[in-house]
Amino acid sequence: MPNYRADRMSEDIQRELAAILREMKDPRLHNGIISIVRCEMAHDLSYCKVYISSMNGLETAKTAVKALKNAQGFIRHELGIRLKLRYAPVLAFEATDSIEYSANISRILNDIELPPEENNEDDND
């Protein structure tokens, strides 16, 4: 049976985490473009896995994850207040290189030169 509440809550957490990240003053979070790729919520809403990616690469994302782990208590408290939760979920942050990977694919696709289109219609008019 699908759990729509967990899906809605993960979207809300992702949105609020992005707002909290913008407000935080830790310099490790502002080295590059940090993005929350996705949030995976447990069905009982007690645990949330947050995937963090950076445009500057995996090392910058790992540095951001360390900063987020240090501020986990603050972030969890803010989530509880902003989303009006009785129990804020335990957050687990994980670094991923999905933004860098997708930027590389986009770069490769832009570098492909397409052959000129041939016109198969009669030009005898």
Domains of the chain (ranges; CATH) run 4-103 (3.30.300.20)
- Alpha-carbon 71 to chain mean position: 18
For residue range 44-53, what is the model confidence (pLDDT) as tens digits? 989 999 999 8
- Give percent of the chain with pLDDT exceeding 70: 91
* Nearest-angstrom CA–CA distance, 18 and 30: 13
Q: Taken in order 29, 35, 56, 96, is the CA torsion positive or negative?
A: positive
pLDDT over 50 (residue 1): no
**pLDDT the model gives residue 114:** 74
Whether this prediction's pTM lies above 0.85 is answered by: no
Give the bridge partners for 49, in sequence order.
Answer: 40, 92
Kindly indicate the confidence band of residue 93, based on its pLDDT and cuts at 50, 70 and 90: very high
Backbone angles phi, psi at 27, to 5 degrees: -65, -20
Distance between start and end Cα atoms, the chain: 64
